[in-house]
Structure 1
Amino acid sequence: MHPFDFRRLIQPGRSTVPLLLVAAFLSGACRSPVASAAPGRSTASPMALPAACGPAAGTGTTSLASSPVADPLVTFDSAWSIIGRTHWDTTYNGVNWTALRAELRPRAAAATSTGELRAVLSEMVARLKQSHFSIIPREIADATGSSSGGAAAPDRSGSIGAELRYLDGTLVIAQLDRDGPAAQAGVRTGWRVQAVNGCPLSARLARMPQEPDPRREALTAYAIGTQALAGAVGDTATVLFTDERNAERTVRIVRAPEPGVVAKFGNLPAMTAQLAFERVKTAGKTVGIIRFNIWMPILSPQFDAAVDSLRDADAIILDIRGNFGGVGGMAMGIAGHFLDSTFTIGTMVQRGATLKFVANPRRVDTRSRGVSPYRGPLAIVVDELSISTTEIFAGGLQALGRAQVFGVQTSGQALPSVPERLPGGDILYHAIADFLNPAGKPLEGAGVTPDRVVPLTRAALLAGRDPALEAAMAWAVGPMTVK
């Protein structure tokens, strides 16, 4: 996925469709300019680093934190007021919002630099202790190279064809595109990524803000590693790995175009959307596996076609690990492929209003022929990087008893959110609603707990295994799953 271009999120007249989307880069590139070293984290590098290997290396922007700030109270009051009128909970998650303004406003008034004001604003939104609240620096939001003064953003359209996960304090290769550059260069799943172009990842991981929730830590680490490995198509990444024998290997990998289609929706940034499906024969049965990385409308026809191709399968598995969310309304249409009635898969709760997410059963296929929604066994595979709309969908079908969920607990970040430009130029990214599953249980914080918890391990990856998918497959073809 490309780094987010936040400027596309803030144009006048933005769509009112709720955006249940978590940008992974909010946890990486977008936090580093405003976050200081967290308690308990060493700020010392374990080795001498090249100048380009600082904690924010690769962002391609120059921080404006030291620049003078004009009218800080105008920006502070705007941010405070926006949250004050749009937060769905009039108790503000237990925070006295008026008292907080009185406490922080003098500090905002005393701010003489952009960085000082950002620190105050960041503290304000952090007091809510909820996801989807962040201050995005304008130099990151505007890093488009436009004539409006934004800095030129680095080209990150190239990929090595690998997915990372954070295991035991290190980043490992969790998945490879079979025909991608990394696989062709001899890289294998389970290898640890130690350094990229001479920059040790351990130094940047050590500087991560301390997180009490390991799921948040995994997201931040993923963003750091993914950012380090991304670059221009045709450029070479020199990557230092630790292989299955814990021996160091340096591999030169030429980045290729990221597979998929470039997707845009309203004011969401451009990103690469990917969907793939396959039929697998096992135990005398056929199982269809569908994978997609983001909830973008451009993938809807592809998903429809995938289901059409798999209608005769004995079971279907949806692998939505690492899916960061997207357009919330899509969950209703996708759910309609698997629900034969207008069941509610969840409810969005705003201040003074609610919106039920009702499944839209599919009665025709892509050729306009009459069909029924798929009735066979349905398994969903998730992990700690399954976020937002992904959690809404998985949690809804699980609560309705329509799907069995496998993997590990999801991120617990499921708040509909929007971005707004503040007078000072930075972006206030803020949630506008809560979301409840069909049983009335909030997904925020808890996320979705799988019916069968199957953690990922480096040992399994080194052996070429995928324990969560294997567990889902075993259930799907089991004796209790006859259509």
Structure 2
Amino acid sequence: MGQRPVWKAAGVRWTAGWLVLVLWSAGLAQTAVQPRAIPALPPQQQVQPAPEVSAAQQAFSEVAAQLLGEYGGLSAVDRQALIREYQGRLDAVCQAQGPRCAADTAYPVIEAQLTALGDPHTFLQWPDEYQEFLSSALGGDRVQYGVKLADLDGERRLVTEVIPGSAAAQAGLRRGDVLLTLNGVAYTYRALTDAREASQAVRLGVDRQGQRLSVSLQAARTSAAELPRLSWVGERGRTALIRIPTFLAGGRVAVAVHRQVAWAQARGADGVVVDLRGNAGGSLLECDLAASAFVPRFERVSQSADGPQQMVVQGGQRRDDAQLIGAVPAPQLWRGPLAVLVDQSSASCAEFFAYEVQRAGVGQVVGEATAGVGNTATRVYAVTGGAGLQMTVLHYAKPGGVAYPVRVQPDLTVQSGEAFLRALAQGRDLTLEAGLQALRSQPRHGLASTDAAVGE
């Protein structure tokens, strides 16, 4: 059986990857071979049955077929030579097992092959990662606390986000809380995750801006989908804050964003802040349609193994080569002051969103330089044994050939290091404060409007 290697790359490897996910039909790419009828041969022409193929070989062959037929990234590596080399490595590790060689024996070989490809957007998702990805993409359930944590004083203990409706939300945890103890002893993140896996309730000692609290928490099975949410901030609470944690939410992100822009308009918001911090990407269609609530029109050219394709996004609709691909039912267009918050974990589709706002000049981007995967799109394929292959299938340019930037540089830089985290523990969000300041420097051109027109 293959042993899963420890991930050693710097930073965080998001389960859903750094991705812009191109969703076909039902939402995910499934590799399948359709059977076809084969006429029977006369007895004298009967052939011997093909040798039994191991699950390891099946998994490797599936990945190889996608690399040769569908890869649309920027790697210049000879993929045929790469497959031949790693086929030899698979043969060596499966030699003793023959047709009984398990799929997960192939996974380390496939990982090494994809690393050698030199495209950080293309990698293998092991079965647990793939299942978590499916839950996020399709809106399934999983056992979770519903809280996101950042490192502070050597442990992941600072609450940066609480998912509405989750166990953490019901327990009363808030953004900025610091976890100090767990069941009466010094808190460790490992102890917290062990309790979740064992379905055990824990009692947390929490510091909330100098006040000591005790919170009871137990993981619960709740929706993995994280939808955009609207809150009110700023002076007199008149600025709309639209938090978009992901563009993976079962096809409901863009509709929610347009609805929240309508709500902001109805309440007379004096500005909108869109928070894309920590957003690792998702569905390109959801991202484009959401961005159309703020950018009147934008275009791009995608380049895949099948050739170029022209995309036009306007008025809550996207057309690819003039064909309607998707639309929101009640499109809005915000015309007032706008700020988009990003950090070094804002990746792929989140980078597209921020770039389109910045390029159109309809708002300011505030925060840190983004992750640096803002010029490609990936598709996820099922692999034998329960794994998934995330692979680059497209790269992008503007009409005229200007390539999309690898990362987005903010108009106003705010670092999110230790000083930011300690300020958050004291109830201050320095990036949000800078975003609100950016709004005050922008002219008030008008309010949101319903805008259903689509350019051809």
Give me the TM-score of the superposition, normalised by structure 2. Answer: 0.66
Which deviates the most, 249-258 or 320-329?
A: 249-258
The Cα of 1:405 is off from its aligned counterpart by 0.8
- Give the root-mean-square deviation of aligned CA atoms: 4.3
Residue 338 of structure 1: aligned partner: 294
Q: How do 1:30-109 residues align onto structure 2 when only pairs under 5 Å count? A: 34-36=4-6, 38=8, 70=54, 72-89=56-73, 93-109=75-91
1:121 aligns with 2:110: yes
1:51-89, Cα deviation, whole Å (9 max, x unpaired): xxxxxxxxxxxxxxxxxx926444433322311221125
Amino acid at match of 1:128: L
95-104 or 237-246, larger mean C-alpha shift: 237-246
CA distance in 2, matches of 1:360, 1:118: 42
Match of 2:402 among 432, 440, 454: 440
The answer to whether residue 349 in structure 2 is matched with residue 389 in structure 1 is yes
Native 8 Å contact 2:183 2:203 kept in 1 = yes
Distance 2:337 2:215 in 1: 42
Partners of 1:314 and 1:482 within 8 A in 2 = no
- What residue number does 1:374 align with? 334
Larger Rg: 2
CA distance in 2, matches of 1:427, 1:479: 45
Q: What does residue 20 of structure 1 align with?
A: none
Question: Match of 2:425?
Answer: 462
Counterpart AA for 1:276: R
Instruction: Evaluate the alpha carbon distance shift between residue 434 and residue 168 of structure 1 in structure 2; reply closer, same or farther with a 3 A threshold.
Output: farther
Structure 1 counterpart SS, 2:314? coil
Partner residue in 2 for 1:294: 246
Give the distance between the partners of 1:119 and 1:103, measured in 2 at CA: 14
- The equivalent of 1:476 in structure 2 is 439
| Change in CA separation of 1:461 and 1:98 when aligned onto 2, cut-off 3 Å | same
Question: TM-score, normalised on structure 1?
Answer: 0.63
Kindly report which structure 2 residues correspond to 1:220-231, keeping only aligned pairs within 5 A, or say none. none
Shift of 1:466: 0.6
Contact 1:383 1:407 in 2 (8 A): yes
Q: Is the Cα contact below 8 Å between 1:72 and 1:111 reproduced in 2?
A: no
Q: Aligned AA for 1:162?
A: V
Shift in Å, 1:124: 0.5
> AA paired with 1:453?
T
1:295-310 alignment, distance < 5 Å: 295=247, 296=249, 297-310=251-264
After TM superposition, give the deviation of residue 192 of structure 1 in Å: 5.1
Pick aligned residue for 1:428 from 365, 378, 389: 389
Change (3 A) 1:83 1:467: same
Deviations 1:194-220 (A, max 9, x none): 87999975679xxxxxxxxxxxxxxxx
Contact 1:288 1:317 (C-alpha < 8 Å) held by counterparts: yes
Provide closer, same or farther for how the CA distance between residues 158 and 140 of structure 1 changes in structure 2, counting only shifts above 3 A. Answer: closer
CA contact (8 A) 2:209 2:426 kept: no
Q: 2:283 aligns with which of 293, 316, 327?
A: 327
Check 1:380–1:255 CA distance in 2 against 1; reply closer, same or farther (3 A cut). Answer: same
CA contact (8 A) 1:409 1:448 kept: yes
The CA deviation string for residues 388-423 of structure 1, in whole angstroms up to 9 with x for no partner, is 322211122212222211122222334322232345
Tell me how far apart the structure 2 counterparts of residues 343 and 135 of structure 1 sit (CA, whole Å). 32
Matches within 5 A, 1:82-481: 82-89=66-73, 93-112=75-94, 114=102, 115-138=104-127, 141=130, 156-159=142-145, 162-166=147-151, 170-171=155-156, 172-176=158-162, 182=168, 189=176, 191=178, 236-239=201-204, 251-255=215-219, 258=222, 271-280=224-233, 282=235, 286-295=238-247, 296=249, 297-311=251-265, 312-340=268-296, 342-344=297-299, 346-361=300-315, 373-414=333-374, 415-423=376-384, 426-436=387-397, 440-443=402-405, 446-456=406-416, 457-478=420-441, 480=443
8 Å Cα contact 1:165/1:174 also seen in 2: yes
CA distance in 1 between partners of 2:186 and 2:63 (Å): 37
AA matched with 1:320: L
Task: Report how many aligned residue pairs link the two structures.
Answer: 369
Unaligned stretches of 5+ residues in structure 1: 1-31, 41-68, 144-153, 205-224, 263-270
- Deviation of 1:433 (Å): 1.2
| Cα distance in structure 2, aligned partners of 1:448 and 1:374 | 22
Amino acid in the other structure paired with 2:378 = S
Please state how far the C-alpha of 1:231 moved relative to its aligned partner.
Answer: 6.7
Q: Distance in 2 between matches of 1:168 and 1:353?
A: 50
Contact persistence 1:332–1:360 (CA under 8 A): no
Give the SS at the match of 1:94. coil
Deviations along 1:408-445, one digit per CA (max 9) or x if unpaired, are 222233432223234565432222112346883345xx
Structure 2 residue matching 1:384: 3-state secondary structure: coil
C-alpha separation in 1, matches of 2:119 and 2:246? 22
What is the CA–CA distance in structure 1 between the aligned matches of 2:83 and 2:184, rounded to whole Å? 45
CA drift at 1:328:
0.8
Q: Could you say which structure has the higher strand fraction?
A: 2
Q: Is the 8 A contact 1:285 1:314 kept in 2?
A: no
Q: Is the 8 A contact 1:191 1:462 kept in 2?
A: yes
